[in-house]
Chains A and B, each alone.
Chain A
Amino acid sequence: MSWMRMFGLRLLGFFRSRKDEESFEAELRSHLDALTKENIRRGMSLEEARYAARREFGGVEQTKETYREQRGLPFLETLWQDVRFGGRLIAKHPALSAIIVAILAVGIGAGASLYSLIDACLIRTSITYPVVDRWEVVRAYLPQQKTFVNFLSAPEILEVKQLREVFEDVGAVHGDSFTLTRGEYPERIPGAQVTANAITMTKVQPILGRTFREDEDRPGGPRVVVLRYELWQRRFAGDRKVLGSVMRLDDLDYTIVGVMPQHFEIWGGPLWVPLQLDFTNNNRSDRRNWIVGVLRAGVSEAQANARLRALSKRLEQQYGITTPEYHDWDLRVWNIKEAVIGGVKPALLVLAGAVGLLILIVCANVAVLLLVRATSRLKEIALRIALGAGRGRLIRQMLTESLLLSFAGAVVGVCMSAGCLPLLVHLIPREWLPISPELVRVDHSAIAAACGIAMLTGILFGIAPALQISKQDFVESLKESGSKIGGSRFGRLVRNALIVTEIALSLVVLSGAALMAESYRHLEGIDLGFRADHLLSFRVSVPETKYPRGDQTIQFFERALQEMGSAPMIESAAAVSGQPMGDRAVDLASRDFTISKGARAKTRVPRRTPIFA
């Protein structure tokens, strides 16, 4: 505590230096007077007495100097001096300073924007969910096909549930979407069927009502629904009396029992209904659900995988004959964070790399500009050295100036970033963003990041001009009349190196961008095996209440296709359970089949994937 008191007092001393100075001056004078008086009393003349007094006292100026150092914060005083001087210098070259600040603002602004995005996507997701580090999806790996399969069957879920020493809780999830009728307008809403524990295991509490009870996710259980804040606001105007009222989903009545907080994003869209999983269903190949679980505290993913491997081996031995897809399979955990952000991560890393290079280019660019300015200041600096300024002190001053510039750049950059970030986020497809767009914003941590970048860049681009000074031949500089355009050999060398670096880095970024644009063009122009330019697609789901039997569904689609096909603008119509190129879900028991052109393709019987959106 005492050092804090000390620091506080010295900080105070720094701000009241003038008043203290006068007071100390008076104190010294009274001491010297007393000494002089004493000497006169001993019989010296006034002149002698004064002289003797000064001798006894020691160096007056020296005392004042040490006193000052003790009183204030010499570091802060020099810093303040440098800042004022740097400020004057910036004001003296307004055009150059404006250009430098603008260049820096672009770099730091880009850095702050990207930081906000990364922070929101990669970091902040972990804050919303307390158990996120132990929260896993269990999926199967098929080494022969080198693919993961996320959908598993009820008996398989039961097997995983048995691993009590590994998982705190195991639940199941089935991504779904619902047709909401009644109310102002009908709407298709993405959602999910979840076992009761799939929500409670997240340890996130509902803001209204409750989540599902254990007796609600059994076959024949009640039809209840939990909404998310956003939907509650949108469709029910945030009415707290909504609990107990009825929602018409897929032509069935569901009772609203709870509301989850805003941004509770996991397990699909803004509504959940109980997954009434029938565990008496022994069909091992009826795979429609994801397995989710929370690891016990202290159980590592490797340990969990080892236990799961043992389980898969046992299942292979036990059921391998009736269930051939168990051959060589392997169950593994997949951390929820990876599952949610895995898709954006490479894109963010590429962006981060590009922004990193951009910042380096900015540094090189500004360093060149500062070097030119430093060259025109050689005389001034030579003079300072002649007057006794140390090189360390000069370098420090140069760095203070560059930091001043970079922080000005940071201020402008953060403002720019705050303005542009919504546009950037808008460019990202919603399903790629593991977090709602309004959560991506420039907050205090982004500002801190911008300050960090400013600090780094300030040192990075300030170091070249500062070093140039320390290498300068000052006698020569003083002799020169007027400023020499070329500067010293060292300065020229550094400048050339910087320009080469800058161009090289720019080339890297530009060619990288060009390559990506080219890949994108390739993707656009890829031969799908069919012409897609005149095709339209849409999704439709048929309520089971009206079409309870499979043949009724088939009849519906046959009639729909026939009527659509006869519409004047439609040449032909077809239906498919999974859209080509669209639905990428892979089933454990996918089989090969031959299409008419003779090409072999793998069909993947898709189910709707739970969407983390």
Chain B
Amino acid sequence: MTASRGEVLQGTLDLIVLKTLDALGPLHGYGIAQRIQQVSEDLLKLNQGTLYPALLRLEQRGWISSKWGVSDNNRKAKYYSLTRSGRKQLAAEAESWERMAGIIARLLGAEGA
């Protein structure tokens, strides 16, 4: 893959969303999308629409909860926030991600040597 803007890796969107909500507190869908683009410095190619089925899935799993509220510029918006079990899930997923990344890194390093 030589594309300059990486596709979101399968299964990592959940982790990204959970982490974002953990770092910034309750956010609406637009806010989450903005944050992801900002942090990744536009390197991550994200169709913002794909965020919504993911948010729904996370909510169905009980990891996040949602509530209608009013945004900064006085518009109605749905705010998502991390739940307790979401926090636990984030920790677990982050750990497994790091373990995986470590393995991949070692593997690539070994191949190079």
Contact = CB atoms under 8 A, between A and B. Distances in A.
Interface of A: 2, 5-6, 9-10, 23-24, 26-28, 30-31, 33-35, 37, 56-60, 62-63, 66-67, 69-71
Contacts of B49: 28, 57-60, 62-63
Given A57-B47, A58-B50, A6 B75 contact: no
18 contacts: A6-B60, A27-B29, A27-B77, A27-B78, A28-B52, A30-B75, A30-B77, A31-B30, A31-B33, A33-B75, A34-B71, A56-B48, A58-B47, A58-B48, A62-B49, A67-B52, A67-B53, A70-B57
Given A24-B52, A67-B56, A71-B56, 9 more contacts: A2-B62, A5-B60, A6-B60, A9-B60, A28-B49, A30-B75, A37-B73, A58-B47, A67-B53
B5 interface: no
Q: Which of B49, B53, B60 has the most CB of A within 10 A?
A: B49
Contact of A70 (B29, B48, B56): B56
- Nearest first, the 8 closest Cβ-Cβ pairs linking A and B are A58-B47, A63-B49, A58-B49, A34-B30, A66-B53, A70-B53, A31-B30, A57-B48
B76 interface: yes
Nearest to A61: B49
A37 B71 CA distance: 14
Contacts of A56: 48
Contacts of A35: 30, 48
B52 A27 contact: yes
B30 A30 contact: yes
A33 B50 CA distance: 17
B27 to A, nearest CB: 12
Nearest to B60: A9
Nearest to A66: B53
A31 B71 CA distance: 11
Interface of B: 28-30, 33, 47-50, 52-53, 56-57, 60-62, 71, 73, 75-78
B33 to A, nearest CB: 8
A57 B49 CA distance: 5
A30 B47 CA distance: 16
A341 to B, nearest CB: 52
A26 B76 CA distance: 9
A194 B71 CA distance: 88
Contacts of A23: 78
A9 B33 CA distance: 25
A8 to B, nearest CB: 9
B70 to A, nearest CB: 11
Contacts of B33: 31
Contacts of B60: 5-6, 9-10, 70
A54 B71 CA distance: 21
Contacts of A70: 53, 56-57, 60
Contacts of A30: 28, 30, 71, 75-78
A441 B33 CA distance: 64
Given A31-B48, A58-B48, A71-B56, A6 B30 contact: no
A56 B47 CA distance: 6
Contacts of B75: 30, 33-34
